[in-house]
Structure 1
Amino acid sequence: MNFVAFDFETANAKRNSACSLALTVVQNNQIVDELYSLINPKTDFDYRNIAIHGIKPQMVVDSPDFSELWPHIENFFTTESLVVAHNAPFDCSVLCRTLESYNIEPPHFNVIDTVKTSRSLYDLPDNKLDTICENLDINLKHHHNALDDSQACAEILLKQLECFGPEKIKPFTYTYPRR
Protein backbone atom coordinates (compact mmCIF):
# COMPACT_ATOMS: atom_id res chain seq x y z
CA MET A 1 0.00 0.00 0.00
CA ASN A 2 1.13 3.56 -0.70
CA PHE A 3 0.31 6.42 1.66
CA VAL A 4 1.74 9.35 3.55
CA ALA A 5 1.35 9.62 7.32
CA PHE A 6 1.39 13.16 8.65
CA ASP A 7 1.30 15.01 11.93
CA PHE A 8 1.03 18.65 12.98
CA GLU A 9 1.88 20.42 16.20
CA THR A 10 0.19 23.75 16.86
CA ALA A 11 1.30 26.94 18.60
CA ASN A 12 -2.01 27.39 20.39
CA ALA A 13 -5.56 26.02 20.45
CA LYS A 14 -6.43 27.54 17.08
CA ARG A 15 -6.35 25.10 14.20
CA ASN A 16 -4.55 27.59 11.92
CA SER A 17 -1.48 27.81 14.17
CA ALA A 18 0.66 24.98 12.78
CA CYS A 19 4.21 25.28 14.13
CA SER A 20 5.61 21.94 12.91
CA LEU A 21 4.73 19.32 10.33
CA ALA A 22 6.09 15.91 9.46
CA LEU A 23 5.35 13.53 6.60
CA THR A 24 6.35 9.87 6.49
CA VAL A 25 6.07 8.47 2.97
CA VAL A 26 5.22 4.79 2.50
CA GLN A 27 5.47 2.98 -0.85
CA ASN A 28 4.78 -0.72 -1.25
CA ASN A 29 4.42 -1.04 2.54
CA GLN A 30 7.91 0.40 3.19
CA ILE A 31 8.86 3.76 4.67
CA VAL A 32 10.86 5.41 1.89
CA ASP A 33 11.06 9.09 2.81
CA GLU A 34 10.38 11.63 5.54
CA LEU A 35 10.03 15.35 5.83
CA TYR A 36 10.07 17.48 8.96
CA SER A 37 9.78 21.23 9.18
CA LEU A 38 9.25 23.82 11.82
CA ILE A 39 6.72 26.41 10.68
CA ASN A 40 6.44 30.06 11.62
CA PRO A 41 2.72 30.31 12.46
CA LYS A 42 2.85 34.10 12.71
CA THR A 43 0.74 33.95 15.84
CA ASP A 44 1.17 33.70 19.58
CA PHE A 45 2.27 30.52 21.32
CA ASP A 46 0.30 29.23 24.28
CA TYR A 47 2.33 27.94 27.22
CA ARG A 48 0.18 24.78 27.29
CA ASN A 49 1.15 23.86 23.73
CA ILE A 50 4.81 24.62 24.41
CA ALA A 51 4.63 22.28 27.42
CA ILE A 52 3.28 19.50 25.18
CA HIS A 53 5.68 19.71 22.22
CA GLY A 54 8.54 21.91 23.42
CA ILE A 55 8.50 24.23 20.39
CA LYS A 56 9.07 27.83 21.45
CA PRO A 57 8.49 31.03 19.44
CA GLN A 58 12.22 31.74 19.08
CA MET A 59 12.70 28.32 17.47
CA VAL A 60 10.45 29.16 14.49
CA VAL A 61 11.48 32.76 13.80
CA ASP A 62 13.55 31.82 10.74
CA SER A 63 11.28 28.95 9.65
CA PRO A 64 9.02 29.17 6.59
CA ASP A 65 5.40 30.06 7.03
CA PHE A 66 2.94 27.47 5.76
CA SER A 67 2.38 29.23 2.42
CA GLU A 68 6.11 28.77 1.70
CA LEU A 69 6.06 25.10 2.69
CA TRP A 70 2.84 24.15 0.90
CA PRO A 71 4.22 24.08 -2.70
CA HIS A 72 6.73 21.42 -1.59
CA ILE A 73 4.12 19.08 -0.09
CA GLU A 74 0.82 19.72 -1.86
CA ASN A 75 1.33 16.78 -4.24
CA PHE A 76 0.81 14.47 -1.22
CA PHE A 77 -2.71 15.85 -0.74
CA THR A 78 -4.63 15.07 -3.93
CA THR A 79 -7.81 13.18 -4.75
CA GLU A 80 -5.61 10.20 -5.69
CA SER A 81 -3.58 10.34 -2.45
CA LEU A 82 -4.08 8.33 0.70
CA VAL A 83 -3.20 10.33 3.81
CA VAL A 84 -2.99 8.74 7.25
CA ALA A 85 -3.02 10.42 10.66
CA HIS A 86 -3.56 9.44 14.25
CA ASN A 87 -6.63 11.50 15.14
CA ALA A 88 -7.07 12.56 11.53
CA PRO A 89 -9.91 15.03 12.20
CA PHE A 90 -7.43 17.19 14.12
CA ASP A 91 -4.55 17.05 11.61
CA CYS A 92 -6.84 17.44 8.58
CA SER A 93 -8.53 20.46 10.13
CA VAL A 94 -5.14 22.02 10.97
CA LEU A 95 -4.14 21.59 7.32
CA CYS A 96 -7.36 23.11 5.99
CA ARG A 97 -7.62 25.97 8.50
CA THR A 98 -3.96 26.87 7.94
CA LEU A 99 -4.39 26.87 4.17
CA GLU A 100 -7.55 28.97 4.47
CA SER A 101 -5.66 31.53 6.57
CA TYR A 102 -3.39 32.04 3.52
CA ASN A 103 -6.35 32.11 1.12
CA ILE A 104 -5.29 28.79 -0.38
CA GLU A 105 -8.09 26.44 -1.39
CA PRO A 106 -7.91 23.29 0.77
CA PRO A 107 -7.56 20.08 -1.24
CA HIS A 108 -9.70 16.96 -1.22
CA PHE A 109 -7.86 13.75 -0.34
CA ASN A 110 -8.46 10.26 1.00
CA VAL A 111 -7.88 9.67 4.70
CA ILE A 112 -7.46 6.82 7.15
CA ASP A 113 -7.52 7.61 10.86
CA THR A 114 -5.44 5.15 12.90
CA VAL A 115 -7.42 6.04 16.03
CA LYS A 116 -10.50 4.57 14.34
CA THR A 117 -8.71 1.54 12.90
CA SER A 118 -7.12 0.83 16.28
CA ARG A 119 -10.41 1.25 18.15
CA SER A 120 -12.01 -1.28 15.83
CA LEU A 121 -9.15 -3.80 15.64
CA TYR A 122 -7.84 -3.88 19.23
CA ASP A 123 -9.22 -4.00 22.74
CA LEU A 124 -6.98 -1.48 24.48
CA PRO A 125 -7.60 0.76 27.50
CA ASP A 126 -7.45 3.82 25.22
CA ASN A 127 -6.46 4.69 21.67
CA LYS A 128 -3.75 7.24 22.38
CA LEU A 129 -0.71 7.04 20.14
CA ASP A 130 1.65 6.05 22.93
CA THR A 131 -0.70 3.32 24.21
CA ILE A 132 -1.08 1.76 20.77
CA CYS A 133 2.66 1.95 20.11
CA GLU A 134 3.42 0.29 23.42
CA ASN A 135 0.95 -2.53 22.71
CA LEU A 136 2.23 -3.07 19.15
CA ASP A 137 5.94 -2.85 20.10
CA ILE A 138 6.45 0.29 18.02
CA ASN A 139 9.25 2.57 19.20
CA LEU A 140 7.70 6.01 19.74
CA LYS A 141 10.81 8.04 20.50
CA HIS A 142 9.40 11.43 21.51
CA HIS A 143 5.62 11.70 21.66
CA HIS A 144 4.43 15.07 20.31
CA ASN A 145 7.46 15.41 18.06
CA ALA A 146 5.72 15.58 14.68
CA LEU A 147 8.29 13.38 12.91
CA ASP A 148 8.26 10.68 15.59
CA ASP A 149 4.46 10.77 15.69
CA SER A 150 4.10 10.51 11.89
CA GLN A 151 6.56 7.59 11.80
CA ALA A 152 4.64 5.83 14.57
CA CYS A 153 1.36 6.41 12.75
CA ALA A 154 2.81 4.90 9.57
CA GLU A 155 4.09 1.90 11.50
CA ILE A 156 0.70 1.38 13.17
CA LEU A 157 -1.04 1.21 9.80
CA LEU A 158 1.68 -1.04 8.38
CA LYS A 159 1.24 -3.48 11.30
CA GLN A 160 -2.53 -3.40 10.84
CA LEU A 161 -2.16 -4.12 7.14
CA GLU A 162 0.19 -7.00 7.89
CA CYS A 163 -2.04 -8.52 10.59
CA PHE A 164 -5.50 -7.87 9.16
CA GLY A 165 -4.96 -7.26 5.42
CA PRO A 166 -5.91 -4.32 3.22
CA GLU A 167 -9.53 -5.46 2.81
CA LYS A 168 -10.10 -5.00 6.55
CA ILE A 169 -8.51 -1.51 6.44
CA LYS A 170 -10.05 -0.08 3.23
CA PRO A 171 -13.53 0.50 4.73
CA PHE A 172 -11.97 3.09 7.07
CA THR A 173 -11.01 5.31 4.12
CA TYR A 174 -13.00 8.50 3.58
CA THR A 175 -12.60 11.68 1.55
CA TYR A 176 -11.68 14.88 3.35
CA PRO A 177 -13.37 17.21 3.58
CA ARG A 178 -16.45 15.02 3.75
CA ARG A 179 -18.88 15.76 0.97
Structure 2
Amino acid sequence: MNFVAMDFETANAKRYSACSLALTVVRNDQIVDEFYSLIKPDTPFFWRNTQIHGIHTADVADAPDFPTLWPHIASLFQRDRLIVAHNASFDIGVLRSSLEHYQLPTPQYLALDTVRTSRQFYPEFSDHKLNTLCAALNIELEHHHNALDDSRACANILLQEAHQFGPERLKSFVKVIA
Protein backbone atom coordinates (compact mmCIF):
# COMPACT_ATOMS: atom_id res chain seq x y z
CA MET A 1 0.00 0.00 0.00
CA ASN A 2 1.12 3.51 -0.88
CA PHE A 3 -0.74 6.51 0.56
CA VAL A 4 -0.57 9.62 2.71
CA ALA A 5 -2.59 9.82 5.92
CA MET A 6 -3.70 13.37 6.76
CA ASP A 7 -5.04 15.01 9.90
CA PHE A 8 -5.95 18.63 10.62
CA GLU A 9 -6.86 20.41 13.83
CA THR A 10 -8.79 23.68 13.63
CA ALA A 11 -8.89 26.83 15.74
CA ASN A 12 -12.67 27.12 15.59
CA ALA A 13 -15.72 25.91 13.65
CA LYS A 14 -14.60 27.58 10.41
CA ARG A 15 -13.15 24.89 8.18
CA TYR A 16 -10.40 27.21 6.95
CA SER A 17 -9.11 27.79 10.51
CA ALA A 18 -6.47 25.03 10.35
CA CYS A 19 -4.03 25.37 13.26
CA SER A 20 -2.08 22.14 12.76
CA LEU A 21 -1.53 19.58 10.04
CA ALA A 22 0.19 16.21 9.97
CA LEU A 23 0.92 13.92 7.05
CA THR A 24 2.14 10.33 7.39
CA VAL A 25 3.62 8.90 4.20
CA VAL A 26 3.32 5.15 3.58
CA ARG A 27 5.23 3.34 0.83
CA ASN A 28 5.19 -0.41 0.35
CA ASP A 29 3.22 -0.89 3.59
CA GLN A 30 5.77 1.03 5.69
CA ILE A 31 5.64 4.48 7.24
CA VAL A 32 8.59 6.18 5.56
CA ASP A 33 8.08 9.85 6.36
CA GLU A 34 6.07 12.17 8.55
CA PHE A 35 5.36 15.87 8.45
CA TYR A 36 3.89 18.05 11.18
CA SER A 37 3.38 21.78 11.38
CA LEU A 38 1.48 24.24 13.46
CA ILE A 39 -0.39 26.74 11.28
CA LYS A 40 -1.23 30.33 12.13
CA PRO A 41 -4.90 30.81 11.18
CA ASP A 42 -6.33 34.22 10.38
CA THR A 43 -9.24 33.55 12.72
CA PRO A 44 -9.38 33.50 16.53
CA PHE A 45 -9.27 30.34 18.61
CA PHE A 46 -12.47 29.10 20.21
CA TRP A 47 -12.02 27.78 23.73
CA ARG A 48 -13.69 24.44 22.96
CA ASN A 49 -11.28 23.65 20.10
CA THR A 50 -8.32 24.54 22.33
CA GLN A 51 -9.76 22.30 25.04
CA ILE A 52 -9.84 19.40 22.55
CA HIS A 53 -6.39 19.72 20.95
CA GLY A 54 -4.47 21.91 23.40
CA ILE A 55 -3.23 24.42 20.82
CA HIS A 56 -3.37 28.08 21.88
CA THR A 57 -2.93 31.36 20.01
CA ALA A 58 0.55 31.77 21.53
CA ASP A 59 1.59 28.35 20.20
CA VAL A 60 1.04 29.42 16.58
CA ALA A 61 2.39 32.98 16.87
CA ASP A 62 5.53 32.10 14.89
CA ALA A 63 3.98 29.34 12.76
CA PRO A 64 3.52 29.71 9.01
CA ASP A 65 0.10 30.56 7.67
CA PHE A 66 -1.55 28.11 5.29
CA PRO A 67 -0.44 29.84 2.05
CA THR A 68 3.18 29.69 3.25
CA LEU A 69 2.89 26.02 4.19
CA TRP A 70 1.03 24.79 1.09
CA PRO A 71 3.93 24.91 -1.43
CA HIS A 72 5.90 22.55 0.85
CA ILE A 73 3.21 19.85 0.82
CA ALA A 74 1.24 20.43 -2.41
CA SER A 75 3.23 17.80 -4.31
CA LEU A 76 1.75 15.10 -2.06
CA PHE A 77 -1.72 15.86 -3.43
CA GLN A 78 -1.57 14.47 -6.95
CA ARG A 79 -4.14 12.92 -9.27
CA ASP A 80 -2.98 9.36 -8.61
CA ARG A 81 -2.05 9.78 -4.92
CA LEU A 82 -4.26 8.26 -2.26
CA ILE A 83 -4.94 10.55 0.70
CA VAL A 84 -6.40 8.83 3.75
CA ALA A 85 -8.09 10.39 6.77
CA HIS A 86 -10.21 9.25 9.67
CA ASN A 87 -13.50 11.09 9.17
CA ALA A 88 -12.20 12.28 5.82
CA SER A 89 -15.10 14.64 5.19
CA PHE A 90 -13.71 16.86 7.97
CA ASP A 91 -10.06 16.83 6.87
CA ILE A 92 -10.87 17.11 3.16
CA GLY A 93 -13.24 19.95 4.05
CA VAL A 94 -10.49 21.75 5.97
CA LEU A 95 -8.09 21.36 3.05
CA ARG A 96 -10.67 22.46 0.48
CA SER A 97 -11.86 25.42 2.57
CA SER A 98 -8.30 26.55 3.29
CA LEU A 99 -7.41 26.41 -0.40
CA GLU A 100 -10.56 28.35 -1.33
CA HIS A 101 -10.14 30.88 1.48
CA TYR A 102 -6.59 31.69 0.40
CA GLN A 103 -7.45 31.45 -3.32
CA LEU A 104 -5.04 28.58 -4.00
CA PRO A 105 -5.62 26.00 -6.74
CA THR A 106 -7.44 22.87 -5.64
CA PRO A 107 -5.69 19.64 -6.61
CA GLN A 108 -7.34 16.45 -7.74
CA TYR A 109 -6.45 13.35 -5.72
CA LEU A 110 -7.87 10.07 -4.48
CA ALA A 111 -9.33 9.81 -0.98
CA LEU A 112 -10.31 7.08 1.44
CA ASP A 113 -12.04 7.43 4.81
CA THR A 114 -11.02 4.95 7.53
CA VAL A 115 -14.27 5.65 9.41
CA ARG A 116 -16.13 4.18 6.44
CA THR A 117 -13.78 1.21 6.06
CA SER A 118 -13.88 0.44 9.78
CA ARG A 119 -17.70 0.49 9.83
CA GLN A 120 -17.65 -2.09 7.05
CA PHE A 121 -14.90 -4.30 8.44
CA TYR A 122 -15.65 -4.01 12.17
CA PRO A 123 -19.43 -3.66 12.54
CA GLU A 124 -19.26 -5.24 16.00
CA PHE A 125 -17.37 -2.27 17.50
CA SER A 126 -19.42 0.04 19.73
CA ASP A 127 -18.31 3.05 17.67
CA HIS A 128 -15.69 3.83 15.07
CA LYS A 129 -13.92 6.78 16.65
CA LEU A 130 -10.17 6.86 16.19
CA ASN A 131 -9.38 6.15 19.84
CA THR A 132 -11.89 3.28 19.98
CA LEU A 133 -10.42 1.64 16.88
CA CYS A 134 -6.88 2.05 18.12
CA ALA A 135 -7.73 0.44 21.45
CA ALA A 136 -9.60 -2.46 19.81
CA LEU A 137 -6.90 -3.06 17.17
CA ASN A 138 -3.92 -2.57 19.53
CA ILE A 139 -2.67 0.46 17.58
CA GLU A 140 -0.72 3.04 19.52
CA LEU A 141 -2.41 6.43 19.89
CA GLU A 142 -0.38 8.43 22.38
CA HIS A 143 -2.18 11.79 22.24
CA HIS A 144 -5.60 11.76 20.59
CA HIS A 145 -6.23 15.08 18.76
CA ASN A 146 -2.52 15.62 18.21
CA ALA A 147 -2.47 15.76 14.41
CA LEU A 148 0.73 13.71 14.06
CA ASP A 149 -0.40 10.96 16.43
CA ASP A 150 -3.81 10.89 14.74
CA SER A 151 -2.40 10.70 11.19
CA ARG A 152 0.00 7.92 12.22
CA ALA A 153 -2.87 6.00 13.86
CA CYS A 154 -5.01 6.44 10.73
CA ALA A 155 -2.19 5.06 8.59
CA ASN A 156 -1.81 2.06 10.88
CA ILE A 157 -5.57 1.38 10.82
CA LEU A 158 -5.55 1.25 7.02
CA LEU A 159 -2.44 -0.93 6.97
CA GLN A 160 -4.06 -3.35 9.40
CA GLU A 161 -7.27 -3.44 7.34
CA ALA A 162 -5.27 -4.10 4.17
CA HIS A 163 -3.36 -6.89 5.89
CA GLN A 164 -6.47 -8.43 7.45
CA PHE A 165 -8.95 -8.04 4.57
CA GLY A 166 -6.74 -7.46 1.52
CA PRO A 167 -6.09 -4.27 -0.47
CA GLU A 168 -8.61 -5.27 -3.16
CA ARG A 169 -11.47 -4.93 -0.65
CA LEU A 170 -10.43 -1.33 0.01
CA LYS A 171 -10.70 -0.17 -3.62
CA SER A 172 -14.46 0.36 -3.46
CA PHE A 173 -13.94 2.99 -0.73
CA VAL A 174 -11.67 5.19 -2.87
CA LYS A 175 -13.18 8.40 -4.23
CA VAL A 176 -11.82 11.05 -6.58
CA ILE A 177 -11.62 14.50 -4.99
CA ALA A 178 -11.53 17.42 -7.41
TM range (shorter): over 0.9
Give the deviation of 1:107 after TM superposition.
1.2
Paired amino acid for 1:129: L
Map 1:18-167 → 2, pairs under 5 A: 18-122=18-122, 123-167=124-168
Secondary structure of the equivalent of 2:125? coil
Q: Distance in 1 between matches of 2:113 and 2:42?
A: 29
Give the deviation of 1:60 after TM superposition.
0.2
Q: Distance in 1 between matches of 2:69 and 2:81?
A: 18
Give TM-score scaled by structure 1 length.
0.98
Secondary structure of the equivalent of 1:111? strand
Q: Distance in 2 between matches of 1:135 and 1:170?
A: 24
What is the match of residue 4 of structure 1? 4
CA offset digits 1:107-128 (Å, max 9, x no partner): 1110010000000000210010
CA offset digits 1:13-48 (Å, max 9, x no partner): 010000000000000000000000000002100000
Q: How many residues align?
A: 177
Q: Distance in 1 between matches of 2:128 and 2:108?
A: 26
Q: Distance in 2 between matches of 1:121 and 1:15?
A: 29
Q: Distance in 2 between matches of 1:108 and 1:44?
A: 30
Structure 1: which 4+ aligned runs deviate by more than 2 Å?
none
CA offset digits 1:122-168 (Å, max 9, x no partner): 02100100000000000100000000000000000000000000111
Give TM-score scaled by structure 2 length.
0.98
CA offset digits 1:36-77 (Å, max 9, x no partner): 000000210000000000000010010000101101101111
CA offset digits 1:60-113 (Å, max 9, x no partner): 010000101101101111111100000000000100101111111211110010
- For structure 2, the residue ranges without an aligned partner over 5 or more in a row are none
Q: Distance in 2 between matches of 1:176 and 1:52?
A: 28
- For structure 1, the residue ranges without an aligned partner over 5 or more in a row are none
Q: Distance in 1 between matches of 2:59 and 2:42?
A: 12
Q: Distance in 1 between matches of 2:77 and 2:143?
A: 26
Give the deviation of 1:176 after TM superposition.
1.3
Paired amino acid for 2:23: L
